Structures are given as structure tokens and as C-alpha cells.
Amino acid sequence: MAASALVPLTFVTPIAWAAAGVTPNLEAESRPARQPQTSSGAEPSRVVLPTITVSAHADSASATPMLDPNLPASTETVTRKQFENWNVVNTEDTLKYMPNLAVRKRFIGDLNSIIAVRGTSNTQSARGLVYADGLLLSNLLGSSYSFPPRWSMVFPDEIRRVDVVYGPYSALYPGNSLGATVLISTRMPSKFEADADVKAFTQHFDLFGVNQSMGGSQASATIGNRVGKFAFFIGANHFENTSQPLQFATFAKSSTPAKASDTPVNGAYFYNNQTNTPTAVIGVNGEGIEHVVQDQLKLKMQYDFTPTVRAAFTLGYWHRTYNSRTSTFLSDASGKPVYSGPVNIGGNEYNIPASALAPSAGWSENWLYGVSLATHNATGWNGEAIASYFDVPNSVARTANAGGPGNGPGVLTLGDGTGWKTLDLKATWTPSSSRAGLANHALAFGYHYDDYFLDNETYNTRAWIDGAAGSFANAFKGKTETQALYVQDAWHFLPRWKFVYGVRYEDWQAFDGMQAVGAAALPYPNAGAHHFSPKASLSFDVTDALTLRASVGRAYRFPTVSELFQGQINGSSVVNNNPSLQPENDLSKELTAEWARGQGLVRLSLFEDDVKNTIFSQTDTTVIPNVTSFQNIGKVRSRGAELSYQGEDVFMRGLDLIGSVAYTQSKILANGQNPATVGKYFYRIPLWRADLAATYRFGERYALTMAARYSGREYNTLTNTDTNPNVFGGTSTYTVVDAKFTIRPTKQSELAVGVDNLFDERYFVYHPYPGRTLYVEGRLRM
């Protein structure tokens, strides 16, 4: 429940519940205290449970209500008190120790940071939702590493808490919640405040022909105040970083004897790749060594018309430029770099195409507009309306046709006019905590609308760095639209029992799909689907400290614009992705036990996801020639277990722990287009994940955090042929240790030093992850 303006707020945290000896369940609704029975069956006098009372203006809370107490799913929360002692540079870093969840973040400032959770891999971005104060940040224009959430619309410094809701068990969220829903709540000031923060970071990276240090910095400043009924927050952030090499140019080791006309070269490296095939490495290519510069601006305003009616406005701006530098390891007898052509390496011939080492660069402007109007009554009826618009007015990507220095020919891709719009209308009814009787209901119902639109055009250019658009090459366009209605009821039908049930109806349409090459344009027919998604969850408070819950939910994840329409164009032939894709059809089940113990909370969850028509890019081996595109895989089943713990003052005063271990087995049960994959493990789902973060506070001025992250065996192919995973091109098993030491000389200042990947583990998600990374940070507050 959110605070009402100028009204004291009373709430019970999970740890406070535990200390009081009652159920520390985020789903536990405010209701009369339980009446334990005596051995004779008579009720004792009413027990009054202690609470934590916080008196504050509403603007000191988040811009949206607290996490819905009736969510029928497992949830995990990280607060500012926890992550302020971690190495956090980008917003997604706040999720780094969440149970059975990982973020594919290849370097600090990586644009393509994707959530992976349970049976959802780190390339299935459309299976996760990210909201900030109710505004959708998920980029549902596609489902791959190229369509990550727009994390940069939120400053880490403005975050108050982050909640992760596992699985599609709530009717309040669309089928894209199949993996997880991340709810970011930000803070607003209750009085004048100003904050300045500076970070610097560096890593040394050594692999193949690269041995150098890379680093960057971040500087941010925020200011805010509350004057009567009006509150505002303004923030600015400047970020710059250079990554380690993200990709190398490789060729299978040749057995073809070199010709006399081939250029003899030196400098190649050899290794056995992920399938144990001998491979030559001739340079840094693709995304190369990426230099990123980002600038962010954020404005939030709130106005309390009455103590229970609030309006809010959000404006976010994010500007990003990048430059991907490539290099060759090859040189001829005179020492001159060699970028392409037939070459002689060790007596064998390699024919290197001109594009093998081509560099790239680009920039984009992104705007987020959000408005909301909501009521915040403690009980009874509440309403909320949220509208958002994410706009990309300028997007430019430039790629050279050949490697080497100079400003030669290339291609220019424009993504202007891409974005999405959303509208959410919601009403809730919350019974009074003093209401007697067994049939207490908490209702929620609402309407959702979203509109996603993609428009990419590619042109040839004579100068890839700064040349104007020349002849037209190709284009991809399309739109999707979803409208949904939902209703959900939380029914306390007995003192210790709660039944949460609901249904969501979704109507999805795809239209205006088109691919073009030269003067030829190929329009696609419109597509559409509509489905009902029922949900149900039954929970039982076995004791005041132990809650059991069983949940089941149906979810449909509809195809995205990119999966439907953004195919490939080779010469004069047009190959579409799959405009007839069917939506993913998931049936999720979960059994959970939550147990309060001392100052902590233990959760054990067993889960299973049966997904029919999984949408994934694969090769159809049943046709000749084979076709690689987004296709529906018949059935994928994911089963597993999670054990998590969060606690304060564990074993000793000042020691806080967050830890988890999870096992997930995800297998392909049916796949008509590629039968060889049946029975194999699904793509990039590790069998084991484990995380542990321990923070010890030495009074109010010092804090030390030690943390570790583990990810087990996973596969980078649907056929599981990558038998040598811990190399470039593979997906590693890894254990990474992090640390941070924080000093607060005064209440207004903070200094910190930290390290990620303490033991300089070399590990890969096809691309190399960062090496040992050192951090220093300084902060001033007013």
C-alpha cells in the first residue's frame, strides 16, 4: 500500500513480520490478526502484532503503490539499503544476485543486457517485462539480444526498490511475463536534496592478440524538492566506457595448400572452438572493441490534488553513441597489416572476405514520456491510469564494407520512427482490515493497450563514417497491437486460506508488415489472434511463520514485429522470417513454501513450464535447401527448483545475507522442423545457478560486501553439439567473485572501492565477459 499525501504510512516489512513471529509473506494482505486456538478450543484474547511505523509524506515513497500484496506468485525484492553496497553502475546491476536470474551484460554500458530466468534464455527478451513506476521499459519490438529493456531510462540513484515476480501467475500482467516481471520503484524527495556521484572503472583483458587495459567513468547529479503539494526530481548522467573485444574473426583450420600468389602472413592464433574444431583467429571483428558514450536526463513531477489523489509526469531522455573498432592480427613480411584476400597461414590457404574485419559506428536518441493519475485510499476503491510513449526519433547505424583504415563504402541503416505506446486503466477494491466474516475479497480489474511499430531502412553510402544515404538497399516495417481485459480476485475464504484467481483476455493484431529490396516491395498479410489466460493460486498459512502456495497459470506470448517481418535479403531474393508464427502457449505450475526464521525469510519453489509453439530462430532441416528463420518449436518443458534466503543481522549484528541455489532442466520434447533437437537441452539454460552476497556493516560508517555468482553447464546450440563450452564461441560454466568496501566519513559523503571478477575468470557467453574490473566511487549529498 502506498502512502497517502501528508498521511503517516504504516506497513510491515518481511523482516518485521519475521521478528514478530508472523508470516513474512509479500502476498499477505492487511487483515485482522490471526486468533490462535487454545487446547480447549476457546479463543484467547486478541493478539496485537507489532508493526514498523514510518511517518512520511507520500512523495518519499515510490511514484507507484507498493508491491501488490495479493500477487499469486513467488517474488524477490532488493532494496536500496542492499544494492548501495554492491558495484552498481547501470540499473540492471541491481538484479545481479537475484535467485535463478542472470543478466547477459557483456560489459559496463552494454546496450544488449537481457534477463534470463528459469526456463527463459538470455536471447528470449520478449519473455520478460520491466516496468519503472508503472511505465513499460520492455522493448517488445523483437525477441533477441537486440531488443533489451531500456534500462537507461532509470538512474540507479533514483531507485528505491526492485521487485521480481516469477512466472505468469497474475492476470494483471500480459503473457510476456512467462519468464519474470521486474517492477522498479523510484523515490521522490520529501524536502530539498541534491546529490553528486562520480565513478571510475577499469579492467585488463588478455586473450588471443589483445592485451590491454580498458576503462571508463560515470558522473551523475540529481536535485529535488517538495513544496506543498508539488514535488520534483531532476537528474543528469554522463557515461563513457570502452569494452573488451566482443568478437573475433575466426575460420576453420584450413587443409588447402597455399598457392604461390597467396600473401604469406604472420600473427594468427589457433584454438579448438566450442565444437572442438581447430580454428584460426585472425583479428577482432563484428562489434569489436566498443566505445560507448551515453547521456541521460530525467524529470519527474508529482502533484497531490488531495491527500489521496496524485498525478505524476515522467520525461526521460537518453542519447547514445558507439564506435566499434576492429583490428587485424595479420601482417605480411614487411609488417604491413593485412585485412582481406587470399593469404598463406602456416602453408595453408585462407580466403578472407573484405567484410570480415569491417568496423561500425552509430548513435540514437530516445525519449520516454509518461503520465499517471491514481488514488491511494487505504481501503475501498482505488483507480489508476498510466499512459506512456517511448519514441526513437533518430537512430543511425553505419557499417563499413571492408576492414582497415579509411572512410570507404558502407551501409547506412536508419531506425527513425520506431517505438511503442501503452495505456493501462486499473481499478481495485480492498476490504477494510476491520471487516469481519470469512468471505473477504480484494478485487482488481482493468484494461491494457499497447502499440509497437518498427521502421528500418538501409542505404548504400560512399563513405561509411559520415557519408550521405545513397542508393536504397532494403527496408523492414511492421506494427503490432494488443488490447487486453483482466479481472482478479483474492478471496480469504478461511482465516488461514487465500484463493487468488483471475483471467486475462488478449486480442493481438499484426499489420502493415513489409520488406523491400530495390524497387521491389513484399507486403505481408495481416495476422491476429485472441486468447483467454486463466490463473489460480491457493495459499495456506500452516503457522504464523510458514506459508504454502500452489499456483497455475496459462500465458500466451504473441510474436513481435521483428520475428514476423524482419527477415533477410540476399541479392535479389527476399527471405521472410515467418509472418505466420503462432503465439507461444505456456502452462506454468509452481509449488512454494515460505518460512520466516529469525530475521530472515526462506523460500523453496518447485516449478514447471510447458511451452507449446516456442518461438526461436532455428534451421528447418526437413526442407532442401535448409531454411533458417524464426519458427515454432513444438514443445519445450522446463522443470526446476529454487531455494533462496534473505536475512538481516544473521549470526551477528550488522551481517546481511542474500543467497540462492537453483536447478533448471529445460528440454525440447517436440520439434517437427529439426527432429535432431528432440530430447536435447534448450538453448542457454544452465542446469545450476547460485548466488551469495554478504554485507557486513561496521556501525554506520563502514560496510564490506563479498559476493559470488555461479552458472553451470549450458548449451549454445539446440543440438547440444558444443562440447567445448569454455572458449570463445561457447557458453561457459563460471564462478565469479565480487567485493566492495564503502566508507561514509560523514552523513553527506561516501567513498568506495570495489572489484568484480576478483580472480580474473575468463568466461564467455559466445562473447567474452569482462576481466577483473576495479571500481572507485565518490558521492556527496545535501
Domains annotated on the chain, with CATH: 9-781 (2.40.170.20)
If 0-12 CB within 10 Å is exposed, 13-18 middle and 19+ buried, where does residue 617 land?
A: middle
The set of residues, in sequence order, having a beta carbon less than 8 Å from that of 700 and lying 6+ positions away, is 744
Enclosing H/E stretch for 10: strand 9-11
Cβ 104 vs Cβ 696: under 8 Å? no
The rounded distance, in Å, linking the Cα atoms of 410 and 504 is 48
pLDDT bucket at 433, cuts 50 / 70 / 90: low
Q: Which residue has the cell 500480459?
A: 174
Does 333 or 24 have the greater pLDDT score?
A: 333
With a CB cutoff of 8 Å and minimum separation 6, the contacts of 728 are: 207, 208, 248, 250, 271, 273, 281, 764, 766, 767, 768
- DSSP letters of 184-244? EEEB--SS-EEEEEEEEEEEEEEETTEEEEEEEEEEEEEEEEEETTEEEEEEEEEEEEEEE
Say what the pLDDT of residue 53 is. 33
Cα four-point dihedral sign 338, 342, 347, 348 = positive
pLDDT band at 700 (very low <50, low <70, confident <90, very high): confident
User: Which residue in 226, 238, 374 sits closest to 300, CA to CA?
Assistant: 226
Structural contact between residues 760 and 176, judged by C-beta atoms closer than 8 angstroms: no
Residue 572 has pLDDT above 50, yes or no: no
Cβ contact 442:380 at 8 Å = no
Phi, then psi, of 181 in degrees rounded to 5? -120, 125
Name, in order, each residue with C-beta under 8 angstroms of 595's C-beta and a sequence gap of 6 or more. 545, 546, 547, 601, 602, 603
Say if residue 781 is exposed, middle or buried (CB neighbours under 10 Å; 0-12, 13-18, 19+). Answer: middle
- The band of 11, judged by pLDDT with boundaries at 50, 70 and 90, is very low
Residue-wise pLDDT for 360-396, tens only, equals: 999 999 999 999 999 999 889 999 999 999 999 999 9
- Compute the mean pLDDT over every residue in the chain, rounded to the nearest whole number: 89
Nearest of 594, 685, 670, 675 to residue 633 by alpha carbon: 670
Residue 84, pLDDT score? 94
pLDDT, residue 779, reads: 96
Structure confidence at residue 35 as a pLDDT band (50, 70, 90): very low
User: Residue 686 in contact with residue 664, Cβ under 8 Å?
Assistant: yes
- Tell me which amino acid residue 651 is: F
- pLDDT, residue 68, reads 76
Tell me the C-alpha distance between 340 and 757, whole Å.
36
Pairing assessment for the beta strands 180-186 and 128-132 based on DSSP bridges: parallel
pLDDT digits (tens, 9 = 90+) for 500-553: 999 999 999 999 998 888 777 888 889 999 999 999 999 999 999 999 999 999
Mean pLDDT, residues 434-463 taken together: 85
Radius of gyration of the chain (CA): 27
Give the rounded percent of residues in the chain with a pLDDT score beyond 90. Answer: 80
> Which residues, at least 6 apart from 646, have a Cβ–Cβ distance to it below 8 Å?
14, 76, 77, 600, 601, 657, 658
List Cα–Cα distances, 229 to 58, 309, 373, 378, 759, in angstroms: 10, 11, 15, 19, 51
Q: Cα–Cα distance between 562 and 268 in angstroms, integer? A: 37
Contact 291, 214 (CB under 8 A): no
Task: Please say if the pLDDT value at position 17 is more than 70.
Answer: no
Write the secondary structure of 393-452 as one string of H (helix), E (strand) and C (coil): EEEEEEEECCCCCCCCCEEEEECCCEEEEEEEEEEEEECCCCCCCCCEEEEEEEEEEEEE
Cβ neighbours of residue 19 under 8 Å, at least 6 residues apart?
50, 599
pLDDT digits (tens, 9 = 90+) for 482-496: 999 999 999 998 889
In which residue are the cell numbers 524536502 written? 191
3-state SS, residue 126: helix
Write the DSSP assignment of 528-559 as a string of letters.
EEEEEEEEEEEEEESSSSEEEEEEEEEEEEPP
pLDDT at position 153 over 90: yes
Before 625, cis peptide (omega within 30)?
yes
Residue 470 has pLDDT above 50, yes or no: yes
Tell me what pLDDT residue 439 has: 52
Mean pLDDT of 147-163: 94
Confidence band of 598 (pLDDT split at 50, 70, 90) = confident
Could you give phi then psi for residue 157, rounded to 5 degrees?
-70, -20
Residue 12 pLDDT grade (very low, low, confident, very high; cuts 50, 70, 90)? very low
Give the list of residues 6+ apart from residue 244 with CB closer than 8 angstroms, or none. 107, 203, 205, 207, 210, 214, 289, 768, 770, 771
CA max distance for the chain: 101
pLDDT confidence of residue 567: 63
Q: pLDDT tens digit string along 719-743?
A: 999 999 999 999 999 999 999 999 9
Q: What is the pLDDT of residue 66?
A: 62
pTM assigned to the model: 0.89
What are the tens digits of pLDDT across the range 683-697?
999 999 999 999 999
Least confident of 285-294, 427-436, 579-588, 600-609: 427-436
Nearest partner of 557 among 180, 182, 178, judged by Cα? 178
Rounded to whole angstroms, how far apart are CA atoms 112 and 144? Answer: 9
577 pLDDT tier (thresholds 50, 70, 90):
low
CB atoms near residue 138 (< 10 Å): 25
**pLDDT surpasses 60 at 102:** yes
- Torsions phi, psi for 122 (to 5 deg): -85, 15
Averaged pLDDT for residues 754-779: 97
- Type and span of the H or E element at 596: strand 584-597
Average pLDDT, stretch 437-441?
Answer: 62
User: Which residues contact residue 591 at a Cβ distance below 8 angstroms, ignoring those fewer than 6 apart?
Assistant: 548, 549, 550, 551, 605, 606, 607
Please report which confidence band the pLDDT of residue 33 belongs to, taking 50, 70 and 90 as the band edges. Answer: very low
Give the mean pLDDT of 427-451: 80
Give the separation between CA 553 and CA 116, rounded to whole angstroms: 20
Whether 39 shows a pLDDT value over 80: the answer reads no
